[in-house]
Every structure is written in C-alpha cells, then in structure tokens.
C-alpha cells in the first residue's frame, strides 16, 4: 500500500521550512529529537494563551502561520524527514502538486502542539491548512487528492509560481 502510493506520486520541489521557526530551532534530526513524556494526543480543547518569550501568544503565531503560508502543515518531523507515517503520507500527497509547503515540527515544542490542537479543535497530527482553512489530517488530504478536490483547491496557488 505505502509502496504503491509512493510510486504514484511525482517528485516534487523540495519543501521549504519556515525561515523563522519557534524557539530558533530550524532542523531537528530523529536522533536528536527529545520526545516529551506526555501523550501526543492529549487535548483539553482549551485556548492556549501561554506567552512565548517574544510576548506573542502561540495561538497568534499559528493564526499568522496559516494566514501567511498558502499551504501550512503541523507535523511530526519536517517535510524532508517526517517522523510519522501519517505526516509522511500527507507531505507526499502535497508534494504531488507544485506548491510551496511550509511546516512546523510539533515534536520540537509540546506547547506548540497543544496550541495547534486547541486552534483547530482537532486532536491528532498532521494537521493541514490551505489558504487559511483547516483541511484535516492525512486521511482527508489523501481522500481529497483521490477525488480531485485538492487539485482544485491548490489550483491558484500553483498559478502564482
């Protein structure tokens, strides 16, 4: 299944990560990742108002992320090195289209992870936003790819290139 899916997808443009990631951490390899003890799916659905050092709340950071980046993914790992099959699947689907993919690694920052869950009211990762709209997880992105909805939604992003 995964192999045949891989064969279906064209090689896409190398994804770029955001130039100013939270906490100054740009790239984190699997072996240097510190996985927090808390379950990655804990979610109390309460708004995250904790302040970062910059004085901007995480929910504002996320709001700015999804507004500024036409395709925004909160995932485990980074597009070139996903650390979860579901995050990997979502990125592979998106790379089929010629669009820039912006991403943040939620394994780097438990506070970011919890803030994204609260922002979208969605308990799992990856989470994909397109043009500011919450799209869903890897199941939904794959389904939209298969039905042609994703191509339609990404159409004008591609044309901007």
Partner 1 sequence: MSSRGASALLSRASRIRSKLQTALEATVLEVDDVSYQHAGHAAVKGSSDKETHFNVKIVSPKFEGQSLVKRHRLVYDLLAEELQSGLHALSIVAKTLHETNPNK
Question: Using the rule CB under 8 A, is 122 a contact of partner 1?
Answer: yes
Candidate list 16, 17, 111, 134; residue touching partner 1; CB under 8 A: 134
Asked if 18 and 104 touch (Cβ cutoff 8 Å), the reply is: yes
Question: Using the rule CB under 8 A, is 42 a contact of partner 1?
Answer: yes
**3-state DSSP call for residue 103?**
strand
Spatial distance between the Cα atoms of 17 and 132, rounded to a whole number of angstroms? 17
The token pair at 34 is 């510190």
Applying CB under 8 A, the span of 7-15, 16-24, 77-85, 150-158 interacting with partner 1 comes to 77-85
Question: Using the rule CB under 8 A, is 155 a contact of partner 1?
Answer: no
Question: Using the rule CB under 8 A, is 39 a contact of partner 1?
Answer: yes
**3-state DSSP call for residue 149?**
helix
- Kindly compute the dihedral angle of the four CA atoms of residues 136, 141, 144, 150, in this order, to the nearest 10 degrees: 100
The residue (of 9 and 134) whose beta carbon lies closer to partner 1 is 134
Residues that bind partner 1 (CB under 8 A): 30, 33, 35, 37, 39-43, 76, 83-86, 107, 121-124, 134-137, 139-140, 143-144
């Amino acid at each position: 299944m995964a192999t045949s899916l891989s064969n279906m997808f064209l090689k896409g443009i190398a994804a770029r990560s955001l130039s100013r990631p939270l906490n100054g951490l740009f790239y984190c390899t699997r072996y240097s990742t510190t996985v927090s003890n808390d379950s990655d799916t804990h979610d109390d659905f309460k708004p995250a108002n904790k302040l970062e050092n910059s004085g901007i709340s995480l929910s504002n950071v996320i709001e700015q992320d999804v507004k500024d980046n036409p395709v925004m993914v909160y995932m485990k790992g980074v597009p070139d090195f996903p650390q979860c099959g579901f995050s990997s699947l979502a990125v592979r689907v998106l790379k089929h289209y010629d669009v820039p993919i912006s991403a943040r690694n939620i394994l780097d920052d438990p506070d970011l992870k919890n803030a994204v869950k609260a922002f979208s009211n969605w308990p799992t990762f990856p989470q994909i936003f397109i043009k500011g709209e919450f799209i869903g997880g890897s199941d939904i992105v794959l389904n939209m790819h298969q039905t042609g909805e994703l191509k339609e939604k990404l159409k004008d992003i591609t044309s901007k290139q």
